[in-house]
């Protein structure tokens, strides 16, 4: 069955499983990419994405008539940030940071494609990456970032500046790694 978005939304409000699956399939790849950008590990990103879709389906009746995709995106981002905040001291995040520093750089690149950009961003320490994603990619202001991550505004600004500097260093070296 071919759905349009307004039909999917109406059917999802009625808890129609086919509509929920259609919505999930349509946005899975896009929102998985967001989760992965924040959380780095594919299995964690998948878990958070599933949690985000459960929330979307549970709260779909709260959706107002603005951007439906924007509304869902906000839920996905918040779920990713919440996961990070509640797990930032877990060994998985500290192991990722120490592991990524040991990987050798590849040959210089001419153009950054999406996967290469993700690999470059993933070289940043997790705190820098969170702030960079939220500020440069998602458009949050430093005050909002500080509130969501439980840090000061000055820490948010500092981490953003350090992230930019680190990215420039990586790109000057002409390397990224997977």
CA torsion, ordered 42, 48, 51, 57, to nearest 10 deg = -90
pLDDT exceeds 60 at position 178: no
| pTM exceeding 0.85 | no
> Which comes out higher in pLDDT, residue 87 or 58?
58
Average pLDDT over residues 61-74: 89
User: Is pLDDT larger for residue 135 or for residue 116?
Assistant: 135
Most distant CA pair in the chain, distance: 54
Q: Write down the CATH number for the domain with range 91-172.
A: 1.10.10.10
pLDDT confidence band for 58 (50 / 70 / 90): very high
Provide CB contacts within 8 A for 9, sequence distance 6+.
Answer: 60, 63, 68
Q: Range(s) for CATH 1.10.1740.10 in the chain? A: 5-87
Chain segment 161-177, per-residue pLDDT in tens: 998 888 888 777 765 44
d(CA 126, CA 128): 6
- Residue range(s) of every CATH 1.10.10.10 domain in the chain: 91-172
Whole-number Å distance between alpha carbons of 92 and 14: 39
Q: What is the mean pLDDT of the chain?
A: 81
The mean pLDDT of 41-66, rounded to a whole number, is 92
Structural contact between residues 1 and 18, judged by C-beta atoms closer than 8 angstroms: yes
- On the 0-12 / 13-18 / 19+ scale of CB atoms within 10 A, 9 is middle
pLDDT value of position 143: 93
How far does Cα 98 stand from its chain's mean position? Answer: 21
Report pLDDT for 86: 85
- Give the pLDDT confidence score for residue 123 in this predicted structure: 82
User: Selecting from 3.30.360.10, 1.10.1740.10, 1.25.40.10, 3.40.50.2300, what CATH number does the domain 5-87 have?
Assistant: 1.10.1740.10
pLDDT at res. 10: 92
């Amino acid at each position: 069955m071919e759905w349009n978005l307004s039909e999917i939304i109406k059917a999802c409000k009625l808890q129609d499983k086919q509509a929920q699956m259609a919505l999930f399939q349509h946005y899975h790849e896009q929102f998985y990419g967001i989760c992965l950008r924040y959380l780095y590990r594919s299995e964690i990103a998948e878990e958070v994405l599933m949690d985000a879709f459960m929330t979307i389906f549970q709260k779909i009746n709260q959706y107002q008539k603005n951007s439906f995709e924007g509304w869902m995106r906000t839920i996905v981002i918040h779920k990713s940030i919440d996961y990070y905040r509640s797990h930032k001291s877990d060994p998985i995040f500290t192991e990722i940071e120490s592991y990524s520093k040991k990987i050798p750089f590849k040959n210089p690149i001419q153009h950054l494609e999406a996967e290469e950009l993700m690999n470059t961003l993933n070289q940043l320490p997790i705190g820098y990456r969170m702030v960079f994603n939220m500020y440069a990619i998602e458009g949050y202001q430093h005050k909002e970032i500080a509130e969501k991550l439980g840090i000061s505004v000055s820490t948010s600004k500092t981490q953003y500046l350090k992230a930019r500097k680190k990215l420039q260093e990586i790109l000057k070296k002409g390397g990224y790694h997977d």
